[in-house]
Amino acid sequence: MKIVIVSPDLYTYGAMVIGGVLRDAGFDVTLTKNPDAATATAADADIVLLSLYSTLHLLDERIRNFASAFRSGSAAHGDRAIYVGGPISAYPEIVLGELDVDAVIVGEGEESTVELLENGISEDISGIAFRSDGEIVTTEPKPARIERPLPLIPADIGSQSIRGANTYIETHRGCIGACGFCQVPKFFGTKIRSREIADIIAEIEEFKRCGVRRIAISGGTSSLYQYGKSKSKSVNTGAFIELLQAIARVMGPRNVSVPDIRVDYVSEEVLHAIHDFTMGWVYYGIESGSDEMLKAMRKGVDSERNIYAIELAQQCGVKVGGSFIVGYPEETAEDYEMTKGLIEETFLDDVFVSIAEPIPGTHLSELVLATDDSENPTFMEHVGEYKALKLTESEARCFDLTLHAQMCKAVPSILTDQLYQACLADSRQQGRDVRAVTRLLQRYRGRGDPSNEQ
């Protein structure tokens, strides 16, 4: 049976993992990241899997057109089918409402995808959603086994760049955090399930053989590797150091990055390991300089802890990137000024600013749905310093904070016209994207959208 996996614009780790599972189950699998060419690639496919990682994919005309064309072609080809998996499967009602597809593979898909492909849609398969007699039927997902075959790695993986890495790899699943804007704990659970080092290393060696020169350890909090295996409920420092040492032996330390770490799960030992066995950067989700906002975001930490973690990393010789979120529904001008103040004080090495995006099913999506547009910074007209630029309040804060951060970094950037325009364009694009996602969410209010269930 011929299967085509479409992972728009990027070979995501999840799409490569599913590809490997299907290959080893005996399917003939092709992985493509080009939605424009997907119709040709899938011309003789029996089944298409759309691996989607952004809510915006549901509004992407390339993907919508491809799904419809494949479905209409299927009428002439008998029992061809198109299924959707990936992070957006957390809100199957919206996926089935927006895309012309046969089913959604909900949650971790390694096992349910094989069952679905072998048997077709059935209520006996866990973790799928489909239409039946006009109703959406969703079966309960269950966590997949953490052991699995090597991924399906495309020949051009070495030319991919995701924040400088050719690919991300997974060392564990789950997160013990509960950040209100994040879907990781709901998708992968709050119990940490760690892979064996030997499995991780075999996978990295295969990536390297296929042309990968730089890897990043994916999402959540890297230092939670093997969390819960020791008696104390804290970072398993020994396991984390052993992991980094083993990865560095294969890739070379300067080709490994540990993108995200919670500020409450770092210590001197963890930071020294990051210094010695990776490219020497840590990325913290600082989000805001206001304790009120950190509470609203359910970060579980305050500004004092954020500043402590930044300073600790700096003392250990580790460069610090910080990510910030602006435009949370209740963020006031005073909250925003506190974020600017924190950036001024901390001399970060790099800063990423995002407008709060309400991913369906998250606490943030509930807040957004409960907030009138007139009070939501995503829609409020900005009437301050940047009035002439005709921005929303979220866009203005995103733009202002990005510019501000450029001047306050440990090595400040020179503000050229090019940089100014790039920051402005990025803020505008983020504003458009978040408004589109919010409107989508509002359309599904009260229609089985999981963000309305609590």
Interface contacts to ligand SF4, rule CB under 6 A: 175, 177-179, 182, 184-185, 219-221, 262, 285
Question: By three-state DSSP, how is residue 373 classified?
Answer: helix
Tell me how far apart the alpha carbons of residues 440 and 430 are, in angstroms, rounded to a whole number. 15
Joined together, the tokens standing for residue 134 give 């006009």
Residues 6+ apart with CB under 8 A from 26: none
Question: Could you tell me whether strands 167-169 and 103-105 are parallel, antiparallel, or unpaired per DSSP bridges?
Answer: unpaired
Minimum CB–partner distance for residue 261 and ligand SF4 (Å)? 9
Nearer to ligand SF4, 129 or 296 (CB): 296
Measured in degrees and rounded to the nearest 5, phi and psi for residue 135 equal: -105, 155
Please name every residue paired with 85 in a beta bridge, in sequence order, or none if there are none: 51
Nearer to ligand SF4, 177 or 289 (CB): 177
Nearer to ligand SF4, 185 or 189 (CB): 185
Joined together, the tokens standing for residue 449 give 């959208």
Minimum CB–partner distance for residue 218 and ligand SF4 (Å)? 10
Residues 6+ apart with CB under 8 A from 90: 106, 107, 183, 186, 187, 359, 360, 361, 450
Joined together, the tokens standing for residue 106 give 């909900």
Minimum CB–partner distance for residue 166 and ligand SF4 (Å)? 22
Nearer to ligand SF4, 192 or 251 (CB): 192
Owner of token pair 């229609």: 447
Cα-based angle 92, 88, 394 (whole degrees, multiple of 5): 120
Nearer to ligand SF4, 188 or 399 (CB): 188
Please give the distance of CA 56 from its chain centroid, rounded to a whole number. Answer: 13
Tell me how far apart the alpha carbons of residues 306 and 303 are, in angstroms, rounded to a whole number. 5
Nearest to 46 by CA among 104, 120, 128: 120
Nearer to ligand SF4, 354 or 452 (CB): 354
Nearest to 8 by CA among 67, 81, 57, 70: 57
Residues 6+ apart with CB under 8 A from 264: 300, 301, 305, 309
Nearer to ligand SF4, 277 or 284 (CB): 284
Contact 179, 298 (CB under 8 A): yes
Question: By three-state DSSP, how is residue 165 classified?
Answer: strand
Nearer to ligand SF4, 221 or 392 (CB): 221
**Total residues found in the chain within this entry:** 454
Q: What torsion, rounded to 10 degrees, do the Cα atoms 251, 257, 261, 265 define?
A: 40
Handedness of CA 169, 175, 177, 182 (dihedral sign): positive
Nearer to ligand SF4, 179 or 244 (CB): 179
Contact 186, 90 (CB under 8 A): yes
Nearer to ligand SF4, 287 or 349 (CB): 287
